[in-house]
Structure 1
Amino acid sequence: MAPPVTELTDRARDIFRAVVDGYVENGMPVGSKTIAIASGLNLSPASIRGVMQELEELGLLASPHTSAGRIPTERGLRLFVDGMMQALEPSAEERAAIEARAGHRGPVEEALAATTAALSGLSACAGLVMVPKRELALRSIGFVALSPDQAMAVLVSEDGSVENRVIQLPAGMTPSALVEAGNYMTATLSGLTLAEARARVGRQMAEGEAALDGAARALVEAGLAVWSEDGARRPVLIVRGQGRLIDAAAAADLDRVRDLLDDLEGKQEIAQLLDSASAGDATRIFIGAENKLFALSGSSVIARPFRGPGGRVVGVVGVIGPTRLNYARVVPMVDFTAATLARLMG
């Protein structure tokens, strides 16, 4: 465990901050000569090296390989984030960019993806957003013939989103049966979710209330089956900007980047991590091995829940990147994005 920041002398805090700032800026070890020239501390390189050695003994700094410079350890970064960081609020331009993407017309998922892409671009990290599986209410379902044995099922939800799926037609299907099946589904299922629709159709068919011929009945069942199966697989996690994780500094550590990209492929594990951040209102910061998922890749996650109607948590938004994140800049940016999404979902 890192010592409380109050136990460090003013000189040690100043030198530690200089190392963190330099490392965050360029990803390289910071040497005593660099601090002596740039920090304005009026200390000799020898004096600075002595303090850096003390900070290393406390587990706050490390000397990678044979470099004369130091980098902050994960323990040191935790101390910095919890006790020394001075947040930098997003600029007016950054806020406008996030709000513009959140105002994207169309399905909510597209607005979430666009907002996450904006956060990724501004933070130079991969952007993440997780929302619960959404039960779409139906407006209409229709069928368009493509060939004698295939048709396109067209689903329109009440939020105006339209999705298409190609399905195999049951044997003996006629154009009139396509129209009959579409009319029945729209008239009977409008306003229901897919789960409710399947239950109602099943009940009506079992009780003989569905006035459909055999071909139309088979098409209704096939159409509901394909949409229900697709709905069960709806992604709850959107990731944007993975390519931003490969920068000039990361090129020297491709194994770490490869591990991180592998982590991002395991969406279920990422979703579980974000779900753990949904409790409470505060922003959660996971640094490196503090979470076992990123023990190999040495990555950090900053995440914050956002709320919808009634104050209920409806999702979590955040970023993932190397531990040398500019926490002071990115944390407030994630906070602002969460507030923007809360207004979107309200």
Structure 2
Amino acid sequence: MLLDTRAQTLLKALVERYIADGQPVGSRALSKISGLDLSPATIRNVMADLEEMGLVASPHTSAGRVPTPKGYRVFVDKLLTVQEISELALESRLQTGLVSQPPQKIIANAAQILSSLSQFAGVVMTPKTESIFQQVEFLRLSEKRILLVVVAPTGEVHNRLLLTDIDYTPAQLSQAANYLNQNFSGHAFEDARLGINSELRQLQTDMTSLMQAAVEAGSDALSEQSDEMVISGKTNLLNVQDLSSNMTSLRKLFDMFEQKSSLMQLLDVSCKATGVQIFIGGESQLLPMDEMSVVTAPYEVNGKIVGTLGVIGPTRMAYERVIPIVDITAKLLSNALSQ
């Protein structure tokens, strides 16, 4: 969409003013805040052109105009000046929440941090483990009772009790763990199961049964994911008039949180993209309301994208501030989980 410099300046001024105070913006106000030496009549003509393009709309109760979802899209893609937030300053605020904690706690803290800094809702899609393990260990508890310890790539530790028909010695347990770690570390338990089955003749029969039991138990442990996502600050959205102005809007909003399917789909789409993504209600089929936007970014563990985080709020949000908050939090979460 081609807009001349004058139209771009006026659209940018209109969106910024509307985000700031939530009131339709009239031609006289635009004349003052745009910095352009234009008469109100000329501004009205430009606004009429922008309205014809579908970038702004006129509420029935006002002579002023408000941005449409299409107008917000042009604003965030072409006109937005992202606020510079010191990564070091933000990192110091996040340090206690994202360091020296178990992975699930770090993820929960990241959602809370996003909510706290944005004053909207923060969401983090938890990593998809796909039953991949980094390391396994066997600990002999007593005769025929073994504790299986599974370490996931994220550093999470899962324990499972194995009841066996044979009383394995510590040396045998060490041998079985070494075999699994040396041959299948970084792979899914399914790969280990297929590998063990294909090499049955080369393995001692009694050791095979132990490793098969470990593979089954370990796969179950890693596939038992808790919540697929962590959401913090949902009640903040009750204070946003654009989202809570009527019961229909509220019902749509909390249906999305309750069902999660559309939100998961949105986060999954973001997971496949690079960098910060902005989903604006009214143009995205994944959002239930025209007045809602979601700003997301993927995060990594050891260089591999494993999930997405973001901020859920109104389309009338301060994107120039929310975007760097989401971007930097994603980087810091990646670093925290990769340590």
Q: What residue in structure 1 maps to residue 225 of structure 2? A: 234
RMSD value, Cα: 4.5
Give the CA deviation at 1:116. Answer: 3.1
Mark the CA change 1:122 to 1:78 in structure 2 (over 3 Å): closer, same or farther: same
The percent identity for this pair of structures is 28
TM-score (norm 1): 0.70
Of 78-87 and 152-161, deviating more is 152-161
Q: What residue in structure 2 maps to residue 87 of structure 1? A: 82
Q: What residue in structure 1 maps to residue 176 of structure 2? A: 188
3-state SS of 1:240 partner:
strand
The amino acid across from 1:259 in the alignment is K
3-state SS of 1:231 partner:
helix
Q: What residue in structure 2 maps to residue 30 of structure 1? A: 24
The amino acid across from 1:132 in the alignment is K
Mark the CA change 1:294 to 1:161 in structure 2 (over 3 Å): closer, same or farther: closer
Q: What residue in structure 1 maps to residue 73 of structure 2? A: 78
Give the CA deviation at 1:44. Answer: 8.0
Aligned: 1:118 with 2:113: yes
Q: What residue in structure 2 maps to residue 148 of structure 1? A: none
Mark the CA change 1:251 to 1:46 in structure 2 (over 3 Å): closer, same or farther: farther
Q: What residue in structure 2 maps to residue 329 of structure 1? A: 321
Q: What residue in structure 2 maps to residue 285 of structure 1? A: 278
Task: Answer yes or no: is the 8 Å Cα contact 1:23–1:71 preserved in 2.
Answer: yes
Query: Structure 2: which 5+ runs fail to align?
Result: none
Mark the CA change 1:137 to 1:182 in structure 2 (over 3 Å): closer, same or farther: farther
Q: Which deviations, in whole Å up to 9, do the C-alpha atoms of 1:91-136 show, x marking residues without a partner? A: 45433223443324223x4323322321232122322345332523
Q: Which deviations, in whole Å up to 9, do the C-alpha atoms of 1:262-290 show, x marking residues without a partner? A: 33444454344333334453422221133
Q: What residue in structure 2 maps to residue 157 of structure 1? A: 151
Give the CA deviation at 1:51. Answer: 5.2
Task: Answer yes or no: is the 8 Å Cα contact 1:62–1:70 preserved in 2.
Answer: yes
Give the CA deviation at 1:162. Answer: 4.1
TM-score (norm 2): 0.71
Cα distance in structure 2, aligned partners of 1:70 and 1:152: 70
Q: What residue in structure 1 maps to residue 92 of structure 2? A: 96
Task: Answer yes or no: is the 8 Å Cα contact 2:297–2:327 preserved in 1.
Answer: yes
Task: Answer yes or no: is the 8 Å Cα contact 1:126–1:320 preserved in 2.
Answer: yes
Task: Answer yes or no: is the 8 Å Cα contact 2:97–2:106 preserved in 1.
Answer: yes
Task: Answer yes or no: is the 8 Å Cα contact 1:63–1:70 preserved in 2.
Answer: yes
Q: Which deviations, in whole Å up to 9, do the C-alpha atoms of 1:133-185 show, x marking residues without a partner? A: 2523344456989xxxxx997745377644467x8x98xx9xxx898699976
3-state SS of 1:301 partner:
strand
Cα distance in structure 1, aligned partners of 2:212 and 2:107: 32
Mark the CA change 1:313 to 1:208 in structure 2 (over 3 Å): closer, same or farther: closer
Mark the CA change 1:25 to 1:197 in structure 2 (over 3 Å): closer, same or farther: same
Query: Structure 1: which 5+ runs fail to align?
Result: 146-150
Q: How is 1:1-346 mapped onto 2 (pairs within 5 angstroms)? A: 3-6=1-4, 8-9=6-7, 13-14=9-10, 16-26=11-21, 28-32=22-26, 35=29, 39=33, 52-91=47-86, 93-107=89-103, 109-123=104-118, 124-133=120-129, 135-140=132-137, 155=149, 157=151, 161-163=156-158, 188-189=176-177, 191=181, 194-195=189-190, 209=204, 211=206, 225=216, 227-234=218-225, 237-243=228-234, 244-249=236-241, 250-279=243-272, 281-296=274-289, 298-307=291-300, 309=302, 312-344=304-336, 345=338
3-state SS of 2:124 partner:
strand
